[in-house]
């Protein structure tokens, strides 16, 4: 079976005992990329990152270089914020980057701050990740003492402070404007758009770049090897390598770094070096390709490439790099209910369709599972969903197959609301019969 | 339960000036309070409000948004069992039910001896190691029911103190910035504009 052959870029120190220490990092690469970047100057670094076509790894997939380019000219100070709030269900690839390779992240951050002329940087780590906080605090202390962070970095005359910050349990704070609100000491509620990017108005209403942990971890390599070398990996529209968290009913769940564009979901699920196939030789029922928010895909879509421009038209998204595999013993109604419960619980409450709709959707699904479902409940689910994410269901045929409405349309301030609807649509589209069995027989054939 | 101790207040005073606007230190200061007492008391909220020039209600308003801040005392060990999708597929609900039976409490409750608070939690970013749980935000992965039993026995007997500090303590390493290394907000040497955001 064809599997990715590009050498890993960001996971090279995952297995090393001392990869997280400054000594371990200096032994393998050290802050050589930062030194090189300081010699190149900010604009040249920005050009390399643009040339790399490095798409954001946090969920939206926006190219990092282009995002940095949105910063309004001559408006200072500018801030840089690392999004380390990883909490999209299924996703667990930023945590190993913070735990096993904090210096790589810090070096990427420092280079990025230099490129965009940021005044100060904040690393926002998810509250529940105590070890990641310890590793980053240690790494920052080492880097400050060694002269890689703070005043007059490596004698270059350039200075920046990096402050470690952490949250306190709220998924929505991963949304970048909510992250900024939280960093300002507020309740973590997304801001109204426009402005669409914090690059225009972010922290303290100043120009701000928010980037994901994995996105930034790629920057040292890009500076050392050149943007073109990164862009040469994968395909034209999906450059470089990416970490995928493969979970659920595979033989070998794990976090794997693979080449984008040239690797397929089938490689990930079936190759012996990755998933190793479905457990117990069971059949595949469905898989979620990009974290809990993503519409589900089905067995005949396994050969899609790991490329946002391929997965999008197929009716879903690469999202946060989380592939959740469900075998044929899975109850689709129960899986959908658990995802909806999550979004309903994590709704920040700022807009009515999400706050009220999410809670009702969860209750309706719960009563179906508990054997009290009504025949009209399926239509009711779709109707409530339509108030959050309007559009025809199913979507007009795509490649001969009707799909889930995607990309989401929304009546809400942020995409969390529509994410509540995606598991409902995905499960009703393919597994309406399972809903009917629950409703008519009060039970489930998977119990 | 009390206001911040002299030691906690000193720590708070090193954190506040790291931010261009003092209110940004609010969540870190709430963590300092929770580390001191295991929960966030009304007295601590009032003290933090004084330190940041806010009203207690502003502090409470932010505090109550975030699930990790406990506004009432909880167990020495907060056990969070993930039942989200990847764990659901591999026995997360069964693990939670087992913990409920073993500890004799439902999710959301605290044991009578104040040792354990059990929670049914959302994804903790360990999905490839399901089923899993956290104790005071330390991970226990790919857990069998027997391993969970042994873990609780160990914690009760005080055998895992090195691994799992008491509830409230997150990172045991503090960021330290020597004053001569601190650049003072601004590569460009530009001051932060005055005035509050709101
Ligand atoms: C509900 C919601 C949750 C999100 N959670 C995260 C998260 O945990 N981590 C993350 O990096 N991005 C998350 N994002 C995406 C961020 O808003 C933002 O796009 C990203 O941090 C930008 O970084 P990137 O361009 O490097 O990917 C979330 C978005 C939404 C709408
Ligand atoms: S969609 Fe939901 S989470 Fe997003 S702003 Fe509205 S209420 Fe908050
Ligand atoms: S779903 Fe349980 S840790 Fe992610």
User: What pLDDT does residue B188 have?
Assistant: 41
User: What pLDDT does residue A190 have?
Assistant: 98
B183 pLDDT exceeds 60?
yes
Rounded (10°) angle between helices A416-441 and A377-388: 180
* ipTM attached to this prediction: 0.96
Residue appearing with tokens 């040239």: A262
pLDDT tens readout for residues B50-66: 999 999 999 999 999 99
User: What pLDDT does residue B16 have?
Assistant: 95
Q: Is the peptide bond before A218 cis (omega within 30 degrees of 0)?
A: no
Q: Of ligand 2's atoms, which has the minimum distance to the CA of residue A355? A: 7
As a whole-number percent, the residues of chain B with pLDDT over 90 amount to 90
Of A119, A131, A170, the CB nearest to B187: A119
A346 in contact with B, Cβ within 8 Å: yes
What's the rounded Cα separation, in Å, for the pair A340 and A413? 18
Domains B1-73 and B77-156 share a fold: no
pLDDT tens readout for residues A166-181: 999 999 999 999 999 9
The mean-pLDDT minimum among A173-182, A399-408, B134-143 falls in: A399-408
pLDDT tens readout for residues B23-50: 999 999 999 999 999 999 999 999 999 9
Most A CBs within 10 Å, among B18, B23, B27, to test the A interface: B27
Label residue B190 by pLDDT band (50, 70, 90). very low
User: What pLDDT does residue A2 have?
Assistant: 53
Distance from Cα A353 to the centre of ligand 2, integer Å: 8
pLDDT tens readout for residues A255-298: 999 999 999 999 999 999 999 999 999 999 999 999 999 999 99
C-alpha dihedral (A416, A418, A420, A425), degrees to nearest 10: -160
A220 and A107 in contact (C-beta within 8 Å)? yes
Q: Which residues on neighbouring strands pair with residue A250, listed in sequence order?
A: A278
Mean pLDDT score of chain A, rounded to an integer? 96
Angle, CA A289 vertex, CA A285 and CA A293 arms, to 5°:
105
As a whole-number percent, the residues of chain A with pLDDT over 90 amount to 94
- Phi, psi dihedral angles at A23 (to 5 degrees): -60, -45
The 3-state DSSP composition of chain B as helix, strand, coil percent (nearest 5) reads 40, 10, 50
pLDDT tens readout for residues A301-337: 999 999 999 999 999 999 999 999 999 999 999 999 9
Every domain range in chain A assigned CATH 3.10.20.600: 241-327
Residues within 6 Å of ligand 1 by CB? A 56-60, 62, 64, 83, 85-88, 172, 174-176, 210-212, 215, 414-416
Task: For residues A404-429, give the mean pLDDT.
Answer: 95
As a whole-number percent, the residues of chain A with pLDDT over 70 amount to 99
CB atoms under 10 Å from CB of B191, counted, come to: 12
Label residue B196 by pLDDT band (50, 70, 90). very low
What homologous superfamily is domain B77-156 in, according to CATH? Glutaredoxin (3.40.30.10)
Most B CBs within 10 Å, among A116, A119, A123, A173, to test the B interface: A119
Helices of type H across A319-415: 332-346, 352-369, 377-388
Q: Considering the domain A332-441, what is its CATH architecture?
A: Up-down Bundle (1.20)
Exposed e or buried b per residue across B1-40, where buried means at least 16 C-beta atoms within 10 angstroms of its C-beta: eebbeeebbebbeebbebbbbbbbbbbbbbbbbbbbbbbb
In the CATH scheme, what is the code of domain B1-73? 1.10.10.1590
User: What pLDDT does residue A15 have?
Assistant: 94
Q: What is the residue extent of each domain of chain B?
A: 1-73, 77-156
pTM: 0.96
- Mark which residues 46-75 of A lie under 8 Å from B by CB: none
**Inter-chain residue contact A163 with B19, CB threshold 8 Å:** yes
Give the three-state DSSP class for A284: strand
Label residue A414 by pLDDT band (50, 70, 90). very high
Distance from Cα A350 to the centre of ligand 2, integer Å: 5
Q: Is A47 exposed, middle or buried (0-12, 13-18, 19+ CB in 10 A)?
A: middle
B152 and B105 in contact (C-beta within 8 Å)? no
Question: Is A248 close to ligand 3, i.e. is its CB under 6 Å away?
Answer: no
Label residue A401 by pLDDT band (50, 70, 90). confident
A348 and A115 in contact (C-beta within 8 Å)? no
Label residue B185 by pLDDT band (50, 70, 90). low
Q: Is A220 left (phi over 0), alpha (psi -120 to 50) or beta?
A: alpha
B122 in contact with A, Cβ within 8 Å: yes
In the CATH scheme, what is the code of domain A22-232? 3.40.50.11540
Label residue B191 by pLDDT band (50, 70, 90). very low
CATH topology assigned to domain A241-327: Ubiquitin-like (UB roll) (3.10.20)
B11 in contact with A, Cβ within 8 Å: no
Every domain range in chain A assigned CATH 1.20.1440.230: 332-441
Most B CBs within 10 Å, among A126, A174, A247, A323, to test the B interface: A247
A232 pLDDT exceeds 50?
yes
Q: How far is B33 from chain A (nearest CA, A)?
A: 13
User: What pLDDT does residue B198 have?
Assistant: 30
Nearest CA in chain A to B190: A77
| H/E stretch holding A401 | strand A401-403
Of A172, A358, A411, the residue with max ligand 2 atoms within 8 A of its CB, to mutate for a pocket test, comes to: A172
């Amino acid at each position: 079976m064809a599997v990715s052959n590009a050498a890993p870029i960001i996971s090279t120190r995952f297995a090393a005992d001392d990869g997280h220490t400054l000594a371990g990092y200096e032994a393998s690469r050290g802050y050589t990329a930062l030194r090189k970047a300081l010699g190149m100057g900010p604009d040249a670094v920005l050009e390399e990152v643009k040339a790399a076509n490095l798409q954001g790894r946090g969920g939206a997939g926006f190219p990092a270089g282009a995002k940095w380019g949105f910063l309004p000219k001559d408006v200072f100070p500018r801030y840089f914020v690392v999004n380390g709030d990883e909490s999209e269900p299924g996703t667990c690839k930023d945590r190993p980057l913070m735990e096993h390779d904090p210096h790589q992240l810090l070096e990427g951050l420092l280079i990025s701050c230099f490129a965009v002329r940021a005044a100060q940087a904040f690393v926002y780590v998810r509250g529940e990740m105590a070890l990641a906080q310890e590793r980053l605090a240690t790494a920052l202390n080492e880097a400050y003492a060694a002269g890689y962070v703070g005043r007059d970095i490596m004698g270059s005359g350039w200075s920046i402070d990096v402050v470690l910050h952490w949250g306190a349990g709220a998924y929505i704070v991963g949304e970048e404007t909510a992250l900024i609100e939280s960093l300002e000491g507020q309740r973590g509620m997304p801001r109204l758009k426009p402005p669409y990017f914090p690059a225009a108005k972010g922290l303290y209403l100043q120009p701000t770049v928010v980037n994901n942990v994995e996105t930034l971890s790629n920057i040292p390599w890009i500076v050392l090897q050149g943007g073109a070398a990164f862009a040469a990996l994968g395909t034209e529209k999906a450059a470089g390598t990416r970490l995928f968290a493969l979970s659920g009913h595979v033989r070998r769940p794990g976090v794997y770094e693979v080449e984008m564009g040239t690797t397929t979901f089938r490689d990930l699920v079936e190759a012996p070096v990755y998933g190793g196939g479905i457990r117990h030789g069971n059949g595949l029922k469905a898989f979620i390709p990009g974290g809990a928010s993503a519409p589900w895909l089905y067995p005949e879509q396994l050969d899609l490439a790991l490329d946002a421009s391929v997965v999008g038209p197929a009716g879903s998204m690469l999202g946060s790099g989380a592939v959740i595999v469900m075998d044929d013993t899975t109850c689709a109604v129960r899986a959908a209910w658990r995802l909806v419960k999550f979004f309903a619980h994590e709704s920040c409450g700022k807009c009515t369709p999400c706050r009220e709709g999410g809670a009702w959707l969860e209750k309706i699904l719960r009563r179906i599972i508990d054997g009290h479902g009504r025949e009209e409940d399926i239509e009711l689910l779709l109707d409530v969903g339509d108030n959050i994410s309007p559009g025809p269901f199913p979507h007009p045929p795509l490649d001969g197959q009707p799909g889930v409405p995607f990309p989401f349309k929304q009546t809400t301030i942020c995409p969390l609301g529509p994410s509540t609807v995606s598991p409902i649509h995905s499960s009703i589209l393919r597994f309406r019969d399972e809903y009917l069995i629950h409703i008519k027989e009060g039970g489930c054939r998977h119990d | 339960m009390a206001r911040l101790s002299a030691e906690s207040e000193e720590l708070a005073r090193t954190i506040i000036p790291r931010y261009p606007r003092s209110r940004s230190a609010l969540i870190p200061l709430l963590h300092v309070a929770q580390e001191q007492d295991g929960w966030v008391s009304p007295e601590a909220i009032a003290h933090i409000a004084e330190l940041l020039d806010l009203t207690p209600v502003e502090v409470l308003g932010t505090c109550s948004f975030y699930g990790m801040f406990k506004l009432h005392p909880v167990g020495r060990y907060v056990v969070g069992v993930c039942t989200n999708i990847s764990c659901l597929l591999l026995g997360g609900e069964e693990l939670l039910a087992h913990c409920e039976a073993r500890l004799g409490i439902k999710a959301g409750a605290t044991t009578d001896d104040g040792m354990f608070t059990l929670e049914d939690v959302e994804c903790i970013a360990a999905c490839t190691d399901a089923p899993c749980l956290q104790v005071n935000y330390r991970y226990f992965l790919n857990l069998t029911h027997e391993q969970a039993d042994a873990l609780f026995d160990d914690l009760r007997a005080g055998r895992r103190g090195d691994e799992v500090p008491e509830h409230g303590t997150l990172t045991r390493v503090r960021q330290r910035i020597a004053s001569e290394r601190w650049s003072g907000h601004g590569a460009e040497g530009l001051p932060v504009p005055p005035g509050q955001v709101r």
